Chains A and B, each alone.
Chain A
Amino acid sequence: MAEAQGVLVLGDSAENELSSVSRELLAAGRRLADDLGEELAIGLLGDTLDQPSQQAISHGADKVYAVNHPALAEYQVDLYLAAMESLAKDVSPRVILIGRTNEGRELAPRLAFRLRVGLAQDCLEVSVDSASGTLFANRPVYGGNAVAVVSCNYTPQVAAIRPKVYEPMEPDDSRQGQVVSFPVELDSAQARSKVVDVVAEESEGIKLEEARIVVSGGRGLGGPEPFQDLEQLAKALGGAVGASRAAVDSGWVPSSYQVGLTGKTITPEVYITVAISGASQHMAGCSGAKVIVAINKDAEANIFKEARYGVVGDWQEIVPAFTEAVRELVQD
């Protein structure tokens, strides 16, 4: 077998659009490929891949492996894994990048184990040593209290990249690339688990992940009702509402509100925390916010070490007056 070469991104698309995570992975992969002086390829799985393939090229890919199969139209973990395994073995890349999305959380470890190689999980930054081709990854550990630098000892070196850390490249429609179709043989009997129902509990209005301003509430709110005050504030700001795990675990809001290590990663312009202490596991989901604003009655709370602006006091007094003032300001 030829020596492993190049960088392979495992991407995805939805509604005929290359996903934003795939664009981020291409930006990360482009740098690695340039440092190695090797090719950047992307594998796309699905049943309508023409437009996403072109988008991948304008976002930095030299080559697209279009893994077209009707069984891949909907995500099913066993079938996706089988397709990815066969692509990875055939392409034999030096590095594989996957997004640490909801799907990537199960695909990346299973793929790495199937290939009997290592996985750098939940990476904030990846780089290569161009001489040895070794991949180095920075990744938060211990709930974000520490950062580990890890390297992978076997090829392909697999890294799962945390979403919203890498900025996609400006699309350039004049970029040239090659689209090749990669046939896979899949049998629906390979699908061992099956989805029997999908239940959405998303809040109304602007999506948490997409909002420019997010207001999050924590345990210090004391119950579910105060979240209505936060909804009012978010509405005045044109933003969305999130929560700490303590608020979710208390049953005050659904888990889709949770921001943090095991919740959503968000990168709003302004992130306003109300009665949240700022535990590292919470900050893991919002440290990419441009400006953090903290409202907390405890001047010693960790959140004030992370915030740009803070108010020390009781949210019950602060939030209504703040909301009222925001309404007035936004009106003029």
Chain B
Amino acid sequence: MPVNIAVLAKQVVDPEMPMAAFRIDADAKAVVPPPNIPPVVNGFDENAVEAALQIKDSQEAAITVISTGTSFALDVMKKPLSMGADELVLLQDDAFQNSIDSFFTAQLLAAAIRKLGGFDLIICGRQASDWDNAQVPLGVAEILGLSCVSLGKKVEVTDGHVTVERVTPDGYEVIEAPLPALVTVSNELGQPRYPTLRGIMAATRKRPTIWSSEDLEIDTAQLQPRVTLQDLFVPVRDQQCEIIEGEDDADAGRQLALKLREAKLI
């Protein structure tokens, strides 16, 4: 039996965009997507795709990528397919707003997972780089009653179990959990593989499954948000930096030491 894997992946504004391009619409309490900078698949979700592919490298496995949102850049969301994932399911509806409320998103994803018949293993990113919530996967695990391991840097599946190296502040721990399970992964998993030319060709031909709230049989009005965004602002930084100069770089280094000594910092 192939291992049936789902990867939950979110489309986000590029977190590595230049800081000057970061703007918010204070009235709408939303970030303005920067013009000319395309969105990306959330970085940790690419790590999640990589984790799934590593499992598929060593045993029979099928990988379905699931995402929810109001609209998608299809070429962006097809990247996991071009890396080697098999299917793409997009939950797309005007009601599926990208809000700071994780409860709603987790309910949608859980409904899609149920509709797809469940998975042996669900792999997610540790957090989405827009709202930095780090909640949706743990919510999905709770809603579906799955065993759950977070912050993985290595994920292996062997006879009905998942073994995860979980990042800790001073190293890692090895955790075992029975399938079906949900695992979140972190960047310590390593650089995700690049799409191959063959992968890109195959991805172009693949058509995503697209489901609306009716397809999911979800009454979005029933899913009241658990948190409300009251305000969104860019914090002011008013630090004045004193640039230490010297005759040359080495001298500036010496002057810096004197300065810090004078300020009684060292």
Contact with A along B147-177 (1 / 0, CB 8 A): 1111101000000000100011111111111
- A311→B226 contact, CB < 8 A: no
Among B83-91, B209-217, B258-266, the stretch that binds chain A is: B258-266
Q: How far is the CB of B265 from chain A (nearest CB, A)?
A: 5
Using Cβ atoms and an 8 Å threshold, which residues of chain A touch B248?
317
Among B53-61, B70-78, B249-257, the stretch that binds chain A is: B249-257
Q: How far is the CB of B155 from chain A (nearest CB, A)?
A: 13
Among B113-121, B198-206, B237-245, the stretch that binds chain A is: B237-245
* Of B24, B141, B178, B240, the contact of A110 (CB 8 Å cutoff): B141
Using Cβ atoms and an 8 Å threshold, which residues of chain B touch A280?
19
- A148→B231 contact, CB < 8 A: yes
- A120→B227 contact, CB < 8 A: yes
Using Cβ atoms and an 8 Å threshold, which residues of chain B touch A305?
237, 239, 241
Closest Cβ neighbor of B153 among chain A residues: A255
Asked whether A143 and B147 contact (CB < 8 A) given A194-B175, A202-B171, the answer is: no
- B174→A195 contact, CB < 8 A: yes
Cα–Cα distance between A278 and B252 once the two chains are bound (Å): 21
- B170→A202 contact, CB < 8 A: yes
- B241→A310 contact, CB < 8 A: yes
* Of A200, A249, A314, the contact of B171 (CB 8 Å cutoff): A200
Q: Is B208 among interface residues, defined by CB-CB distance under 8 A?
A: no
Using Cβ atoms and an 8 Å threshold, which residues of chain B touch A143?
15, 129, 132
Cα–Cα distance between A302 and B19 once the two chains are bound (Å): 8
Q: How far is the CB of B250 from chain A (nearest CB, A)?
A: 4
Given A119-B227, A256-B169, A307-B239, 13 new contacts (CB under 8 A): A105-B150, A113-B143, A122-B134, A146-B235, A147-B234, A193-B177, A196-B175, A262-B126, A309-B242, A311-B256, A314-B249, A317-B248, A318-B256
Asked whether A213 and B22 contact (CB < 8 A) given A141-B131, A309-B242, A322-B256, the answer is: no
- B244→A329 contact, CB < 8 A: no
- A193→B148 contact, CB < 8 A: yes
* Of A146, A254, A299, the contact of B232 (CB 8 Å cutoff): A146
Q: Is B39 among interface residues, defined by CB-CB distance under 8 A?
A: no
- B259→A318 contact, CB < 8 A: no
* Of B15, B178, B226, B237, the contact of A142 (CB 8 Å cutoff): B15
**Interface of B (DSSP majority class):** mixed
Q: Is A288 among interface residues, defined by CB-CB distance under 8 A?
A: no
Cα–Cα distance between A325 and B255 once the two chains are bound (Å): 8
- A213→B266 contact, CB < 8 A: yes
| Count, chain B residues at interface, CB 8 A | 84
Q: How far is the CB of A268 from chain B (nearest CB, A)?
A: 10
Q: Is A131 among interface residues, defined by CB-CB distance under 8 A?
A: no
Contact with B along A144-178 (1 / 0, CB 8 A): 01111111111000000000000000000000000
Cα–Cα distance between A79 and B106 once the two chains are bound (Å): 23
Q: Is A304 among interface residues, defined by CB-CB distance under 8 A?
A: yes
Q: How far is the CB of B123 from chain A (nearest CB, A)?
A: 15
Q: Is A199 among interface residues, defined by CB-CB distance under 8 A?
A: yes
- A329→B150 contact, CB < 8 A: no
Please name 17 pairs of A and B residues whose Cβ atoms are closer than 8 Å in the assembled complex, sorted by A: A77-B148, A102-B168, A109-B134, A109-B139, A118-B103, A122-B132, A148-B229, A193-B175, A193-B177, A201-B171, A261-B132, A304-B241, A307-B241, A309-B242, A309-B256, A311-B243, A320-B250
Q: Is B222 among interface residues, defined by CB-CB distance under 8 A?
A: no
Contact with A along B96-133 (1 / 0, CB 8 A): 00001111001000000000000000000011011111
Chain B contact residues, CB within 8 Å of chain A: 13, 15-16, 19, 22, 24, 31, 100-103, 106, 126-127, 129-135, 138-139, 141-143, 147-151, 153, 163, 167-178, 186-188, 191, 224-235, 237, 239-244, 248-254, 256-261, 263, 265-266
Cα–Cα distance between A141 and B99 once the two chains are bound (Å): 12
- B132→A140 contact, CB < 8 A: yes
Q: Is A214 among interface residues, defined by CB-CB distance under 8 A?
A: no
Using Cβ atoms and an 8 Å threshold, which residues of chain B touch A193?
147-149, 175-177
Closest Cβ neighbor of A302 among chain B residues: B19
Closest Cβ neighbor of B173 among chain A residues: A198
Q: Is A35 among interface residues, defined by CB-CB distance under 8 A?
A: no
Closest Cβ neighbor of B188 among chain A residues: A255
| Most A CB within 10 A of own CB, among B13, B103, B186, B266 | B266
- A293→B256 contact, CB < 8 A: yes
- A121→B133 contact, CB < 8 A: yes
- B252→A311 contact, CB < 8 A: yes
Q: Is A219 among interface residues, defined by CB-CB distance under 8 A?
A: no
- B170→A201 contact, CB < 8 A: yes
Ranked nearest first, the 4 interchain pairs of A and B with the lowest CB-CB distance are A118-B226, A317-B249, A325-B257, A322-B253
Using Cβ atoms and an 8 Å threshold, which residues of chain B touch A237?
266
Contact with B along A284-315 (1 / 0, CB 8 A): 00000001111100010010111111111110
Q: How far is the CB of A201 from chain B (nearest CB, A)?
A: 4
Q: How far is the CB of A278 from chain B (nearest CB, A)?
A: 9
Asked whether A153 and B132 contact (CB < 8 A) given A113-B138, A262-B186, A321-B254, the answer is: no
- A153→B135 contact, CB < 8 A: no
- A149→B231 contact, CB < 8 A: yes
